Amino acid sequence: MNSVTLRSPLDMHVHLRQDAMLDLVAPLTAASFAGAVIMPNLLPPVNSVERLQWYTQEVRRATAAFSFAPYMTLFFRDYSEQELMAAREHMIGIKLYPAGATTNSEHGVQQIDAMGHVFAMMEEMDIPLLVHGETHGFVMDREAEFTRVYRHLATAYPRLRIVMEHITTADAVALLDQYENLFATVTVHHLYITLDDVVGGLMRPHLFCKPIAKRPEDKEALLRVCLDAHPKVMFGSDSAPHPVSMKESPGCAAGVFTAPIALPLLAQLFSTHSSLDKLQAFVSDNAQRIYRITPPSTEVVVEKVPMTIPDAYDEVIPMWAGSKLEWSITKPAHQ
């Protein structure tokens, strides 16, 4: 197969930021995807109904030229029942960040065990819980250590749909078949790179992300479930734009920007592994079933036509800038 037509492709985890950065990157996502799950870790975070409605309007304004559904999220905190009731119709789920785990997560949860009453209300209201699953242990072990939290949540709240966001380890993959209410998103960059690609030679700041890329055996475990279109796995780019001044600096910001090249990268990868027929499920069908959503009806054609990744999108440098890909989008969703 030298081409694939993707129906209503979805990005189930993306960072669109705010202000000028939102205006730059949001159209790049909306040009390819019928919808996306928008992260709430702004400054300040999206942690109230009022701020959720404001941010929804901002995203819709920035993507007004496209048929695009923004699936909004709230930043996890100790919400009241009244707050959750008021917010539920405006969002797809609530995103939990352990405090300090990643970009703009300083206001995250300090003690997850103390939030049982919120999890119970979310379970009762059928509000999905999206989790950045890392502890504050040694950086290579943080996600593996967090599996005990996933096990507790999945067992204590069996009707709560829990999405393990941007999983990077074989340990996380193994959980999928152990608990009915656990699901996962996987990024495209974690399907391509290991930690060796980031710091094995000179450090490559535009490949540095949180969670960090892991070992070859972890990448192989991720590849296996994605290429097989495991029914509990969805594509979520975790595309995270930062200005070049924040990436190429001593305090390198965490995040890989892939939004405009994600579908060609995926098509190239799935084609290489003779699994192009499974890409539709990974980038749309599974997510529609798991989240019970019906996105706008769009089609994107990706073909084996070479392209060169742009050196930059204004002040944001993408993954593998300047490199050549074998595949490209020949018919965008909104042509």
Question: Average of pLDDT values for 40-57?
Answer: 97
pLDDT at res. 104 = 59
Model confidence at 105: pLDDT above 60: no
Q: How confident is the model at residue 332 (pLDDT cuts 50, 70, 90)?
A: confident
Helices 142-156 and 116-125 meet at what angle, rounded to 10?
Answer: 60
Whole-structure pTM value: 0.96
What superfamily does domain 14-258 belong to in CATH? Metal-dependent hydrolases (3.20.20.140)
pLDDT at 34 > cutoff 60: yes
As annotated, the active-site residues are: 238
Q: Read off the pLDDT of each residue in 296-318 and give the average, rounded to a whole number.
A: 98
Confidence of residue 1 (pLDDT cuts 50, 70, 90): confident
In Å, what is the CA distance from 280 to each residue of 10, 227, 230, 326? 10, 11, 12, 19
Quick one: pLDDT band at residue 113, thresholds 50, 70, 90? confident
Chain-centre distance of CA 14, in angstroms? Answer: 5
Q: What is the mean pLDDT of residues 216-240?
A: 98
The model's confidence at residue 333, banded by pLDDT at 50, 70 and 90, is: confident
Query: What 3-state class would DSSP assign to 302?
Result: strand
Q: What's the token pair of residue 32? A: 């390819």
Domain ranges of the chain: 14-258
Confidence of residue 101 (pLDDT cuts 50, 70, 90): low
Give the pLDDT confidence score for residue 334 in this predicted structure: 67
Rounded to the nearest 10 degrees, how much is the dihedral formed by the CA atoms of 209, 210, 215, 217? -110
